[in-house]
Structure 1
Amino acid sequence: MKYALFAVLGALSLSACAEAPKPAAEAKAPAGQAAAAQPAAAKAAAGTPDARAIEAIRVLNSRVTVERVGAAPLPGFREAIVAGQVVYVSDDGRYLFLPGPGGALFDTTAKKNLSEVALAGMRKEALKVIPASERIVFAPANPKYTVQVFTDVECGYCRKLHSEIAEYNRQGIAIEYLAFPRAGIGSQDFNKMVSVWCAPDRRKALTDAKSDHTVPNKNCKNSITMQYDVGQRVGLTGTPMILAADGTQLGGYVPPAALREALDKLATDGSAKPAATGPVDAVPATTAGGA
């Protein structure tokens, strides 16, 4: 996804991308403070693997500074330092690998996140185990798009998203809610979501729960544990998590108009705006790997 590439590489240098660079004459440090030292950009002879590595990084984000480039411990790749992070680029400049948690492999020629393509397919298959009857749906009469949203009744951004549910529907977007109690299985949060899913009117119960209105305690045969497990399988680290029909992750909280724009983009050319831009409420470390 083209926009995701820019977002990921842009995240390597958030301070540099926060605003456009100012001319030297304007970039003055506050009185009594020295100007911050800027990293020296790496240089390489044209046509060399080092030069191709630098160019590949700049293709994805022209604003970052490649501080160093050289031999990599991985055969066929060059190792570059960008804003204190290590990036590996194939000698021909086509493939770029970001290691570590949340890392990914990019095709710089196609401007495609190959890791996201693989994950999207996995997510689409994983979601199939959750029956349509177990999803809480808010939809317009004739939706243009349908997205799945892992939600939690306590998380702030989940509540913000739900407060705008009518506008998502006006944008032609149907929301299918899936349960992910961030506090873990057996928690008070979990029990609240069981009560919602066991309510005779799930839509009203979910709205009440996200508005701090009382939802009667109920228990029944439910799929909350299964939905929670699926959320972990698809890599959820925070709620909300918005997934397109093909499994592409579109973000955490994304405003209605921006989500429609991303879905239009995905439908026309297979790209979408960056997943990384949407704020989420993080899953506590004690439950992220299992209850």
Structure 2
Amino acid sequence: MMKRILIAVLGAISLSACAQSPQDDAPAARSSQTAQPPAGVQPAEGTPEERALAAVRILSPNLNADHIGAAPLPGFREVIVGGQIVYVSDDGRYMFLPGQGGALFDAVAERNLSEDSLSTMRRDLLKTIPAGERIVFAPAKPVHTVTVFTDVECGYCRRMHDEIAEYNKQGIAIEYLAFPRMGIGSEDYRKMVSVWCASDRRKAMTDAKAERPVPDRDCKTTVNMQYNVGQRAGLTGTPMILTEDGIQVGGYVPPQALRQTLDKLAADKAGRMETAAQQAQPAGDA
């Protein structure tokens, strides 16, 4: 559990959702961005070791470190928790988790700084895929829209699609992109090409995920392009859920939990924009 919490919070949420249980997905659904801390909030007091432990315990108050010592990186402590190494800056503010996406985490702001850069890149990558190449399941008036890299063979992709009506009831539009996990040229890939070549892609997607036969078809598609974009976006497993801002919010996330996460991200973004506007306001203006 400790290892899962560290991975989820520090941004390595591109782990395969198909290899997780539903309970394991809850940490992954946690927002990767939160509002900036109130004015005056400072890193923990004490020795570098005490500050390192306090920073790690932001993830969970009950975490106990197996080891805290000097790190090979100057200005950092090395903390081992549940077999996972975390490097914490001596002031207790920044955490770095090597080997799991290399995420840099601001413990005071509770913000994944690496995710900020990644989300911008993902957003730009998604723009390269034409809107007409997405298979869309949306309510009449969506509140949120997410892009989901999906696979017709993945169990959690199928589970997510089984609940597509509930996602829509939550005001969430799902825009599917193809990511055949077995690779280009595989049987999985050929099935997804057949889905994208179908005259009714939505029905073909539903049939394929329900293990109903989909007629073999071949045509010019962007499935290869979508697969390539998924790889460049850091996808290692399906499904992969991305917000309109390119923020990864997990693998499989239940409909209500996804709505809560998207609402929080929207509120945090609005709060940051309001703060930035206030800071940009000339002194003396009302």
* TM-score bin (small chain): 0.7 to 0.9
After superposition, the C-alpha distances for 1:240-269 in whole angstroms (9 at most, x for unaligned) are 111111111111111111111111111112
Aligned partner of 1:25 in structure 2 is none
Mapping for residues 241-256 of structure 1, pairs under 5 Å: 241-256=240-255
For 1:100 and 1:50, the matched residues in 2 are separated by: 22
For 2:52 and 2:171, the matched residues in 1 are separated by: 42
Q: CA deviation at 1:114?
A: 0.8
For 1:218 and 1:50, the matched residues in 2 are separated by: 61
Q: CA deviation at 1:5?
A: 6.5
Contact 1:6 1:60 survives alignment (8 Å): no
Aligned partner of 2:211 in structure 1 is 212
Aligned partner of 1:95 in structure 2 is 94
TM-score of the aligned structures, taking structure 2 as reference length: 0.78
Residue 269 (1) aligns with residue 268 (2): yes
In structure 2, list runs of 5 or more residues that go unmatched: 13-23, 25-44, 271-286
Q: CA deviation at 1:82?
A: 1.5
Structure 1 runs of 4+ off > 2 angstroms?
Answer: 4-9
Q: CA deviation at 1:143?
A: 0.4
Deviating more after overlay: 104-113 vs 94-103: 94-103
For 1:222 and 1:6, the matched residues in 2 are separated by: 35
After superposition, the C-alpha distances for 1:59-81 in whole angstroms (9 at most, x for unaligned) are 23211102222211111111122
Aligned partner of 2:179 in structure 1 is 180
For 1:200 and 1:8, the matched residues in 2 are separated by: 41
Aligned partner of 1:51 in structure 2 is 50
After superposition, the C-alpha distances for 1:197-250 in whole angstroms (9 at most, x for unaligned) are 011111111111111222111111100000001111111111111111111111
Q: CA deviation at 1:119?
A: 1.1
For 2:53 and 2:92, the matched residues in 1 are separated by: 8
Residue 70 (1) aligns with residue 69 (2): yes
For 2:166 and 2:69, the matched residues in 1 are separated by: 50
Aligned partner of 2:9 in structure 1 is 8
In structure 1, list runs of 5 or more residues that go unmatched: 12-17, 19-45, 272-291
Corresponding residue SS for 1:118: helix
Change (3 A) 1:7 1:215: closer
Corresponding residue SS for 1:238: coil
Corresponding residue SS for 1:200: coil
Corresponding residue SS for 2:57: helix
Residue 166 (1) aligns with residue 165 (2): yes
After superposition, the C-alpha distances for 1:26-54 in whole angstroms (9 at most, x for unaligned) are xxxxxxxxxxxxxxxxxxxx722222112
TM-score of the aligned structures, taking structure 1 as reference length: 0.76
Corresponding residue SS for 1:120: helix
Q: CA deviation at 1:58?
A: 1.6
Q: What amino acid sits opposite 1:184 in the alignment? A: G
Larger Rg: 1 or 2? 1
Higher relative contact order (CA 8 A, sep 6+): 2
Q: CA deviation at 1:8?
A: 3.5
Q: What amino acid sits opposite 2:114 in the alignment? A: S
Between the two proteins, what is the percent identity of the paired residues? 68
For 2:225 and 2:106, the matched residues in 1 are separated by: 35
Change (3 A) 1:208 1:6: closer
Corresponding residue SS for 1:56: helix
Aligned partner of 1:229 in structure 2 is 228
Aligned Cα RMSD in Å? 2.0
Q: CA deviation at 1:270?
A: 4.5
Change (3 A) 1:197 1:6: closer
Q: CA deviation at 1:6?
A: 8.7
For 1:258 and 1:212, the matched residues in 2 are separated by: 27
